Amino acid sequence: MSVPGRAAGPGGGAGAPGPAAEGCRPGFVRPNFAALSRELAQARARWAAQGLSAYSYEVRQVAAPVLLPATRVTVRDGAVVALNLVPGEAGQPSPLARLTVEGRFDSLAQTLRYQATLPCPEVRIRYDPALGLPVYLYSGRGDKGIADGFGEWTVSRFTPLP
């Protein structure tokens, strides 16, 4: 997993941290939004090639400072048909838990467009290498002194359904 505050992996940054941008924390590296957008398009194409319209997955989300309940999402015919909290969790599923994989791609594209407008954006995304589905997003700001205000989600236990 990436170290918060450091751009990592494909689409991350240009490499070693350079001088901090005005108002950004020391060591801040601006993400390469062109590369992140290309990776998103490639992953979306890999996912579309699977032709899956029935599946389930678990999503865990942090909307700092709130940890939202882990939720099992079931999709059939391309629509969310069930949301169930993972055993041991309490509360209400987040609105972001109500997304199909296609909805997650749309949400990622929106996040990239928004973050590209910020002076100190931090974005890290990972995709399943075989299926293309998004499995991790971290979105925040690399400005000085922000203790909350980031968002993060992880998709796991993806299961195709008959």
**pLDDT of 142 above 80:** yes
Q: What is the pLDDT at residue 2? A: 33
- For residue range 91-105, what is the model confidence (pLDDT) as tens digits? 999 888 999 999 999
Q: How far is C-alpha 17 from the chain's CA centre? A: 23
How far is residue 147's CA from residue 153's CA, in Å, rounded to a whole number? 18
CB within 8 Å of 105: residues ≥ 6 apart: 40, 43, 44, 47, 134
pLDDT band, residue 146 (cuts 50/70/90): low
For residue 37, what are its two tokens? 């957008």
